[in-house]
Structure 1
């Protein structure tokens, strides 16, 4: 049985190292070739949970075999139970929270008040232009009008003063500090 435990332990460690070093590269190189292994209906069957459980099974089996006087069947049963508990802990404490923490580019235009933006289409004194606003990890372009009724040139940094009818009312801002 120690050979089985050692093989599982080495396999788990190798999987962790390979996925850590080459994970993104392999994912792109294989580009969905292993999608048939996906268990979409069973979210707890994530590779991290399964390989983590197998590695814990191996470690528990080796430790129990070396440091207890229990029989081989009892050791295997205890190792499986410990692996199930460890896999459940990995799933509920790491995998599931990470699935729920996806980045989203969703935003509310009304929440842009006070945000800095850059004018990409000049904003006339009376009329509309366009600005780029950084939102989270991305940027968005929005229709803008001058809050003060003054023209604003392209490339100017502005601040969103208010939002009305999905239009950002902006005012030029001077970010240079005078000493």
Structure 2
């Protein structure tokens, strides 16, 4: 049984190291693959559980005077406790952390912006929106095909094919700034 514990310990450790190295080399897309999995099935939890099962099994077998099934049970308990700790102190907080300054064009809907390049009737101009600490500019047109001058406040009401449809801002509209 000691061979099984060593296999779990070394195999789990090798898996964890390879996972981190491969993800670093691949530019982070490997971690994105695992986003589809529930947080409880995160590879770090699985690797950590296997490593701790193997490590506890080795220690309890070598330095304890327990029976085979007691060692298996205590090793499984150690693995579960470590996985639970990893979940609450690493996986869950990291899954809720901001990891990108990117945004979806659909997030513009309902945002208040300012016209930077006038929008002619039936044509296109440019509107700036605040995201985080910066401004983003997008091609825009008017919802009712009227001219909107530079400096006017507008409300984004739709995004289609990379163009933001806006209307003049009115305090009666809800905004999400």
Does 2:1 match 1:4?
no
Residues of 1 paired with 2:83 and 2:91: CA distance? 10
- TM-score scaled to structure 2, two decimals? 0.56
- Which segments of 5 or more consecutive residues in structure 1 lack a partner in the other structure? 146-150, 153-157, 170-179
Q: Cα 1:86–1:100, aligned 2, differ >3 Å: closer, same or farther?
A: same
Does 2:140 match 1:143?
yes
Question: Which deviations, in whole Å up to 9, do the C-alpha atoms of 1:12-66 show, x marking residues without a partner?
Answer: 111111111113639979xx8xx9xxx96x7623322222211110111112223
Residues of 1 paired with 2:51 and 2:27: CA distance? 22
Q: Which moved more, 1:7-16 or 1:95-104?
A: 95-104
Q: Cα 1:94–1:138, aligned 2, differ >3 Å: closer, same or farther?
A: farther
Question: Which deviations, in whole Å up to 9, do the C-alpha atoms of 1:55-114 show, x marking residues without a partner?
Answer: 11011111222332222221111001111222233234433444445766363555556x
Aligned to 1:176: none
**Does the 8 A contact of 2:126 with 2:140 survive in 1?**
yes
Residues of 2 paired with 1:165 and 1:26: CA distance? 34
Number of residue pairs the alignment of both structures matches: 146
Aligned to 1:123: 118
Question: Which deviations, in whole Å up to 9, do the C-alpha atoms of 1:108-128 show, x marking residues without a partner?
Answer: 555556x8x9x5xx327x766
**Does the 8 A contact of 1:9 with 1:58 survive in 2?**
yes
Residues of 2 paired with 1:142 and 1:110: CA distance? 16
**Does the 8 A contact of 1:132 with 1:141 survive in 2?**
yes
Residues of 1 paired with 2:135 and 2:77: CA distance? 45
**Does the 8 A contact of 1:131 with 1:142 survive in 2?**
yes
Specify which of 74, 77, 80 is matched with residue 73 of structure 2. 77
Secondary structure, aligned partner of 1:107? helix
**Does the 8 A contact of 2:110 with 2:156 survive in 1?**
no
Secondary structure, aligned partner of 2:82? helix
Residues of 1 paired with 2:27 and 2:107: CA distance? 33
> CA RMSD, aligned part only?
4.4
- TM-score scaled to structure 1, two decimals? 0.56
Q: Cα 1:58–1:140, aligned 2, differ >3 Å: closer, same or farther?
A: farther
